[in-house]
Amino acid sequence: MFKKILIANRGEIALRVICACKELGIETVAVYSEADQHSLHVRFADEAICIGPARSAESYLNVASIISAAEITNAEAIHPGYGFLSESAHFADVCRTSQITFIGPTPEAMRLMGDKDSARKKMADLGIPVLPGSGVLQSQEEALEAASGIGYPVMVKAAAGGGGRGMRAVESAKELPRAVQAAQEEAKAAFGVPDVYLEKYVASPRHIEFQVLADEHGKVVHLGERECTIQRRHQKLVEESPSTQVDAELRRETGHRVVEALKQVGYTNAGTVEFIMDENRQLYFLEMNTRIQVEHPVTEMVTGFDLVKIQIQIAAGLPIDLPGETVNLRGHAIECRITAENPETFAPSAGKIIGFNAPGGTGVRLDTAAYAEAVVPPYYDSLIAKLVVHGANRDEAINRMRRALDMFIIEGISTSVPLHQKIMADADFRAGNFDTHYLLRFARNGTRALEL
Amino acid sequence: MAEKKGSSENGWELKEIQKLIDLLIERDVAEFEMEKGGTRIRVRRAESRATTPMPAAPTIISPVIPLTIPTVASTQPGPAASGAVETAALPAAHPENAVSAPPAESAPAESPESLYIIKSPLVGTFYSSPSPNAEAFVKPGDAVRVGQVLCIIEAMKLMNEIESEASGEIVRIYVENGQPVEYGQSLFAIKPSLKR
């Protein structure tokens, strides 16, 4: 087992890794930018090294500084957290050359599964349904042929970017040529490249993802699914497990196929396989995240396992001590991502927290690096806390989340707590009746939330 | 922000509270809490230098503790109270940290405005000479020019020469040969000369 681990991250996830290390008796090294001098992850690590100025590029993304910090502290392994360098195969390569263990998959696995295109091809080869799509369209004829193969409605998408630009939904062959042309013009204007491709259009998509763990001895398990459908501009706001749309049979079958595929790929450590679910509960592979995810606590609450500890144990060469291929999910867990943003305009709200009361009690977990008098810096993402609840069933979990949100006081900055309160009070959310467009409808209808 | 509980009959006279506040200011104390005669008073100063660098008592330790802040740790002024803020020194919460020099060494004894501090632009190992048996690049008392190599910082097996940003006299060297250094750590204090 490692004697000392360096955490190449900040905020709540750095603290999360420090927690796992403390419980395993492993010494910790925190790295921090000048803006994070007073952070909790610096406070609670055994050692802390300043690696650069506030800008991420010069600090948390600075490979040389981080490796150097590991060298001067004799850290044997680096946990990259999520974001920053966690999915950088280059960083994993450098760790390998510097003889520091990267706590995550191999650079090869990261390259294969981290690239959306190659991952889709690989998964399709291994029999996992992939959202039908085309390559970059070279002609109108190709567009029409591909579209009829996929089946209408189809979405025209820009190859060089996203965010809704260069995108067009098409209902029939009649509209296709004009839509492709318009999308190409828009894509050229937005991204400089007119390349577009086609993808099956799912009108009412849901986001379902499967958590996997693989050790270095060939064992691969899945820990069930999480539903992360409540999103705004592709940023998740609420996650839960299990999903109301996944029954035991679908879970077992999908999980099995995912496990078999990752065995073929030779994947190791933690990862999440993301799917889009259409209106018929059909799952299509979207992409894979080759790291621990923000919403991992949700799975921890329904399985009882500490995923970060397991990551460390896997990286140390230990076999996973989990029965069989599937794990039982117990009760229901929900997570709300609390961000430092105005809950209506979503404008970021950096500044000093002058009042802070953390909710507690039965079945409540708070992962945060925030505290009273802490300054939320403007340089990094706005996530300040993950409020996670567990209940015997989904109703209890929702009631518990409402109670916990009511008792969560953060003063001095704006947060998304009021928005989460509205979501938890909403009848559609309670009924499990939502797709990825939920928040748009929600916002449009104003305070449509029904008190129960 | 001062919270006053209880009236003058129960143990605290207004004059006592005033004297207390004066004393806190004079001694640069950040927070004070005391109970007397069944009444507890907590006084906290809004902008105190002593509260700045260390989150010596962050309030969120466990979920059920509300806003009170433990008193013991917070009455000791941190290194910032000594005048020069050493942003690169490791927080005092890590006393056994092997990496940096003790905080007292990092704060220049001379008044800060008169010295130019060369800080490390890298994380790595500090070497005072170009090679193990060679003479040190500079020693206290030496005159240096802008651009002159003062030391080497080794990072990931690469030797980086660190050049002076000021001309003047080396007054102090904060680190030792072979010592690990972090970004922003003080290396040299130079008394700038008036002419270029």
All domains of chain A, ordered by start, with CATH?
A: 4-103 (3.40.50.20), 140-200 (3.30.1490.20), 206-444 (3.30.470.20)
Return the closest-CA partner of residue A111 out of A130, A90, A95, A140: A90
Q: What integer pLDDT is reported at residue B114 of this predicted model?
A: 86
Residue A134 pLDDT: 86
Judged against a pLDDT cut of 70, whether residue A181 lies above it is answered with: yes
Is the interface score ipTM higher than 0.90?
no
pLDDT bracket for residue A163 (50, 70, 90): low
The label of the residue with tokens 């799952």 reads A283
Confidence band of A117 (pLDDT split at 50, 70, 90):
confident
Q: Tell me which residues of chain A, numbers 236 to 265, contact chain B at a CB-CB cutoff of 8 Å.
A: none
Are the beta carbons of B59 and A371 separated by less than 8 Å? yes
CB spacing of B67 vs A51 below 8 angstroms: no
Note whether B62 contacts A360, CB cutoff 8 Å.
Answer: yes
Separation between Cα atoms, residue A194 and residue A247, nearest integer Å:
42
The answer to whether residue A88 neighbours chain B at the CB level (below 8 Å) is: no
Cβ neighbours of B60 in A, within 8 Å:
356, 358, 368, 370-372
Least confident of A9-18, A202-211, B99-108: B99-108
With vertex at residue A217, the alpha carbon angle to CA A211 and CA A218, rounded to the nearest 5 degrees, is: 55
Average pLDDT over residues A395-414: 97
Q: How far is A123 from chain B (nearest CA, A)?
A: 38
| Residue B25: pLDDT band with limits 50, 70, 90 | confident
pLDDT (0 to 100) of residue B173: 97
Q: Which residue has the higher pLDDT, A351 or B93?
A: A351
The pLDDT-based confidence of A390 (bands split at 50, 70, 90) is very high
Q: Could you identify the residue written with the tokens 């990267």?
A: A102
Q: Do B154 and B180 meet the contact criterion of CB atoms below 8 Å apart?
A: no
Mean pLDDT, rounded, of chain A = 93
Query: Is B7 or A376 the better-scoring residue by pLDDT?
Result: A376
Nearest CB neighbour to B63, from listed A42, A46, A358: A358
A72 touches B: beta carbon within 8 Å: yes
Task: Dump pLDDT digits (tens) for A87-98.
Answer: 999 999 999 999
Whether the pLDDT of residue B68 is over 80: the answer is no
- B183 in contact with A, Cβ within 8 Å: yes
**Which residue in chain B is spatially nearest to A30 when comparing CA positions?**
B90
Question: What CA–CA distances, in Å, run from B24 to A365, B19, B30, B59?
Answer: 38, 9, 7, 21
Query: What is the overall mean pLDDT for chain B?
Result: 70
Residue B173 · residue B166 · CB < 8 Å: no
Chain A residue numbers with beta carbons less than 8 Å from the beta carbon of B185 are: 50
Candidates A35, A30, A37, A3; CA nearest to A15 is: A30
Chain A nearest C-alpha distance from B159 (Å): 12
pLDDT at B123 over 90: yes
Look at residue B177 and tell me whether its pLDDT is greater than 60: yes
Are B156 and A68 a contacting pair at CB < 8 A? yes
Q: Which of residues 18-57 of B touch A (CB under 8 A)?
A: 51, 53-55
Predicted local confidence at residue B94, as pLDDT: 40
- Interface check B182 vs A, CB under 8 A: yes
Rounded Cα gap, residues B75 and A440, in angstroms? 51
Sort out which chain B residues have CB atoms less than 8 A from A359's CB and list them.
Answer: 63
What's the confidence (pLDDT) of residue B110?
A: 52
Domains of chain B: 2-75 (no CATH), 83-192 (2.40.50.100)
Q: Is the pLDDT of residue B75 over 70?
A: no
Across residues B172-192, what is the average pLDDT?
97
Decide if A292 contacts A305 (C-beta within 8 A): no
Whether B59 and chain A come into contact, CB under 8 Å, resolves to yes
pLDDT of residue A327: 79
Which one has a higher pLDDT value, A311 or B196?
A: A311
Q: Which residue has the higher pLDDT, A441 or B67?
A: A441
Contact B183 A34 (CB under 8 A): yes
CA distance A141 to chain B (A): 54
What is the model's pLDDT at position B195? 61
Residues A322, A314: Cα–Cα separation, whole Å: 12
Query: pLDDT tens digits for A42-51?
Result: 999 999 999 9
Most confident of A201-205, A340-344, B2-6, B29-33: A201-205
In this complex, the residue of A40, A71, A356 whose CB is nearest that of residue B156 is A71
- Residues A299-346: tens digit of each pLDDT: 999 999 999 999 999 999 999 888 776 778 999 999 999 999 988 788
| Contact at CB, A373 and B183, closer than 8 angstroms | no
Which residues of A does the annotation mark as catalytic? 291
Cα A151 off chain centre by: 30
pLDDT tens per residue across span B52-61: 444 444 433 3
φ/ψ region of A445 (left if φ > 0, alpha if ψ in -120 to 50, else beta) reads: alpha
Q: Which of residues 124-153 of B touch A (CB under 8 A)?
A: 124-125
Beta-carbon contacts of residue B69 (< 8 Å; ≥ 6 apart)? A372, B31, B44, B57, B59
pLDDT of B95 strictly over 60? no
The verdict on pTM exceeding 0.90 is: no
Q: Do A73 and B88 touch (CB under 8 A)?
A: no
SS3 B45: coil
Closest approach of A334 to chain B, Cα-based (Å):
18
CB contact at 8 A, A356 and A371: yes
The predicted model gives A404-408 an average pLDDT of 98
Tell me, what's the pLDDT at B181? 98
CB distance B60–A372 less than 8 Å?
yes
With CB atoms and an 8 Å threshold, state whether A68 touches B51. Answer: no
Residues of B within 8 A of A357 (CB-CB) are 66-67
Q: Which residues contact B15 (CB under 8 A, 6 or more apart)?
A: none
